[in-house]
Amino acid sequence: MALPALDVHTYELVLPSTGVKVKYRPFLVKEYKILLTALETDVQEISRIVLELVDACTFNKLDINKLAHFDVEYLFLQLRAKSIGEIANLNINCDCGAKINFELNLNNAIIDKIESHNNKIMITDNIGVIMRYPKFDELVDIYDNLKTEKVIEVVAKCIDKVFNQDEVFENLDQQESIEFLNNFTKEQFDKLENFFSTMPKVKQKIDKNCNNCGKHHEYDIEGLQNFFV
């Protein structure tokens, strides 16, 4: 005789990049086991499993492989909060040698957006680019491999369009984009670096005094790797 099926509560959130409402459910036990196993593997495997879990828990309604990295991070934090608990414990070391415990309420994490941030960037007076945000696995790839070639490769992938006064170039070939970047001056490439450094981030500000020496600590917790506790 088959056992009765269990109802799973669903929730709703707003996707940061688009403002679209998304329904989601918590992790199931079998999925949580997969997540715990992932913590013992390399970052590439963690990236794959996080994407699979987010996809499953949003009922496969999103094009998960095209979401901006901060969308995936925000979704995962909400899943973690509803599945495991809203509070995550984080320890940091004080200069005096003592450990300071922070309790993070994951519901207080925000998407930090800089008003001046723009994905349309003029490289010269006549030539510009339209950038897209890196996908979650692309950003993980950079964190895992900080070689110049890898950074150039991911930046090239994120060039959505190139334009001048007369024409817009779309559906760019990866190798052409890399060659295009290789001809940038340092000042021109800095403009693209600024796009990445100012793009929206999942962030939570915390502050606490050390119980041992009294020193005041303030930190901005950013990125899934810091919330992954």
Question: Domain boundaries in the chain?
Answer: 11-87, 89-110+201-227, 120-198
Q: Given a cut of 60, is residue 229 above it in pLDDT?
A: no
Q: Given a cut of 90, is residue 30 above it in pLDDT?
A: no
Distance of CA 168 to the CA centre of its chain: 29
Residue with tokens 């459910």: 25
Q: How confident is the model at residue 1 (pLDDT cuts 50, 70, 90)?
A: low
Q: Given a cut of 70, is residue 178 above it in pLDDT?
A: yes
Say how far apart CA 158 and CA 147 lie, in whole Å: 17
Q: Given a cut of 90, is residue 199 above it in pLDDT?
A: yes
pTM, to two decimals: 0.84
Q: Given a cut of 80, is residue 20 above it in pLDDT?
A: yes
Q: Convert the pLDDT of each residue in 127-158 to its tens digit.
A: 999 999 999 988 877 766 666 778 899 999 99
Q: Given a cut of 60, is residue 38 above it in pLDDT?
A: yes
Identify the helix (H) or strand (E) that includes residue 54.
Answer: helix 43-57
Q: How confident is the model at residue 6 (pLDDT cuts 50, 70, 90)?
A: low
Q: Convert the pLDDT of each residue in 91-134 to its tens digit.
A: 888 889 888 888 888 888 888 989 899 999 999 999 999 999 99
- Predicted pLDDT of residue 44: 78
Average pLDDT over residues 158-163: 96
Q: At what angle do helices 69-83 and 43-57 cross, to 10 degrees?
A: 70
Q: Which residues lie below 8 Å from residue 89, measured CB to CB, with a gap of 6+?
A: 101, 102, 103, 104, 229
- Predicted pLDDT of residue 150: 80
Chain mean pLDDT for the chain: 87
Between 32 and 126, the higher pLDDT residue = 126
Q: Which of 199, 203, 20 is nearest to 115 (CA)?
A: 199
